[in-house]
Structure 1
Amino acid sequence: MRAAAAAAPDAVRRREYLAALALTALGAVALLASSAQVWARARMELAGDLAPVTVELSASQAVPAVSALGWAALAALAALVATTGAARRLVGALVALLGLGALGSVAAGLRPAALADAAARSATAEGGLDGLTVAWAWPALACAGAAVLLVSGVLALVRGTAWPAMSSRYDRHSAPRATRTDAPAELWRSLDSGADPTDENAEPKER
């Protein structure tokens, strides 16, 4: 009964840890996925008798910070796994700041004036812009990813010190086996019987 009660907090901490990792990965993927899409379109009226053209704005043109913040969040995911204690709390604070930065970048980049400036810069001809429309699904995905990063960062900041560390079983298996320190007479008897005196599990061979 006591063992079950002691194991319960460990299970809770492990679930929190895995949830923070999953949320960080999800937020990073959402930012990167949305950054590859067209966020806005504008109609450009050209001079003379030329037909109007459509100017498309990708996230890299409208809000270039989204892609960079997504890659930074992936790097922070690896840091969450590799760190412990206060260092992990610092990584959590960084993840939360990445989420806040992404939210602020999307809000600033979607202002009509900012979109009009970005469309004018990306246009390949001179003309007047008209009919600017936003494909809201992709900015919404970026905002959702930013919000998820904010949640995972706050969770790591508050609870990160209690989470488990990276397993050290590989270091334990790779450590050299300690040799036995038996008396010289015992070592000679082991050699005489055909057993390896440095192997603790070896059994003397029957003659």
Structure 2
Amino acid sequence: MGCVSAVPVPQPRGRSGAAARAAGAATGRRTLAAALLLGAAGAAVALLASGRIWAEGATATPGGTLSLSAEGGDITGVPSALAVVGLAALVAVFAVRRKGRTIVAALLTLSGAGAAVAAFLGASDRDALDEKAAETTGDTAATIGSLSHTPWPYVTAAAGLLILLAGLLALRYGSLWPAMAGRYERDGTPRARTAPVVDPDRPEDLWKALDRGEDPTDGDQAPPGR
């Protein structure tokens, strides 16, 4: 007996298109949730960690040694500033479409990258503590000894990477995400103006209609129910 090969039955084009749209919508929902979580968490952690102590040390004084510390904002204000920019960009992604969304997503990505790099560089900074030592002792040549850094700069850098990942998701899948409803957008189309209803029993309405160049005796101007 000869072998009978199974012939694949072609699927209706409409069904395959609907399946593709459903898959795209599901991917959009998942990536949207992930980007929101990553971006919001990254911005919050970056702002929190920037206010923690990043560096500690001691400087010599006539009476012995003086311990000093520097917060993230004393060393660099870039991570916290870019965290705010990234959070604003994450929200603005939903207010724009097409090229505008790509530009905002790129801004979100760059904000995360910049925050991570600035925090990483700040992990080895000593200038802020040297300035504090000179200001505290009144000696411009005073420096910090026994310098040490806490983990907070690296936490801030990791938070910047979360913002960066949110931006990459927006660049890759932003076209699948919903946008602001059309009724909130102004397209420049002239709005139809509805003529005010003129009450013939109100003299002020009659005068206003005459000022507008309307005929107040026109039956179409009469209020409903009269």
Q: TM-score range by the shorter chain?
A: 0.7 to 0.9
| Residue of structure 1 in register with 2:101 after alignment | 88
8 Å Cα contact 2:50/2:73 also seen in 1: yes
* 1:106 to 1:77, Cα distance in 2 relative to 1, 3 A: same
8 Å Cα contact 1:17/1:164 also seen in 2: no
Secondary structure of the equivalent of 2:144?
A: strand
Once residues 139 and 85 of structure 1 are traced to their aligned partners in structure 2, the CA distance between those partners, rounded to angstroms, is 36
- Greater RCO, CA 8 A, separation 6+: 1
Of residues 126, 131, 151 in structure 2, which corresponds to 1:121? 131
> One-letter code of the match for 1:149?
I
Of residues 11, 17, 22 in structure 1, which corresponds to 2:26? 11
Once residues 19 and 43 of structure 2 are traced to their aligned partners in structure 1, the CA distance between those partners, rounded to angstroms, is 36
- Tell me whether 1:79 sits opposite 2:92 in the alignment: yes
8 Å Cα contact 1:38/1:58 also seen in 2: yes
Aligned length: 170
Secondary structure of the equivalent of 2:68?
A: strand
> One-letter code of the match for 1:29?
A
**CA offsets per residue over residues 29-85 of structure 1, 9 Å max, x none?**
1110111111110111113xx131111110011122111111111211221121222
Deviates more, 1:3-12 or 1:61-70: 3-12
1:11-50 mapped onto 2 (5 Å cutoff): 11-47=26-62, 50=63
TM-score (norm 1): 0.72
8 Å Cα contact 1:25/1:74 also seen in 2: yes
Cα shift at 1:132: 0.6
Of residues 144, 150, 168 in structure 1, which corresponds to 2:164? 150
8 Å Cα contact 1:89/1:158 also seen in 2: no
8 Å Cα contact 2:123/2:154 also seen in 1: no
- Tell me whether 1:162 sits opposite 2:179 in the alignment: no
Secondary structure of the equivalent of 2:180?
A: coil
Once residues 175 and 128 of structure 2 are traced to their aligned partners in structure 1, the CA distance between those partners, rounded to angstroms, is 43
Q: CA RMSD in A?
A: 2.6
8 Å Cα contact 2:54/2:70 also seen in 1: yes
Of residues 33, 56, 59 in structure 1, which corresponds to 2:69? 56
8 Å Cα contact 1:80/1:88 also seen in 2: yes
Secondary structure of the equivalent of 1:133?
A: strand
> One-letter code of the match for 1:26?
A
Q: Any stretches of 5+ residues in structure 1 without a counterpart? A: 177-195, 198-207
Once residues 170 and 61 of structure 1 are traced to their aligned partners in structure 2, the CA distance between those partners, rounded to angstroms, is 42
Secondary structure of the equivalent of 1:160?
A: helix
Deviates more, 1:8-17 or 1:67-76: 8-17
- Tell me whether 1:139 sits opposite 2:142 in the alignment: no
> One-letter code of the match for 2:99?
A
Once residues 130 and 100 of structure 1 are traced to their aligned partners in structure 2, the CA distance between those partners, rounded to angstroms, is 32
Secondary structure of the equivalent of 1:166?
A: coil
Once residues 170 and 84 of structure 1 are traced to their aligned partners in structure 2, the CA distance between those partners, rounded to angstroms, is 13
Secondary structure of the equivalent of 2:64?
A: coil
Deviates more, 1:139-148 or 1:159-168: 159-168
1:106-117 mapped onto 2 (5 Å cutoff): 106-111=119-124, 114-115=125-126, 117=127
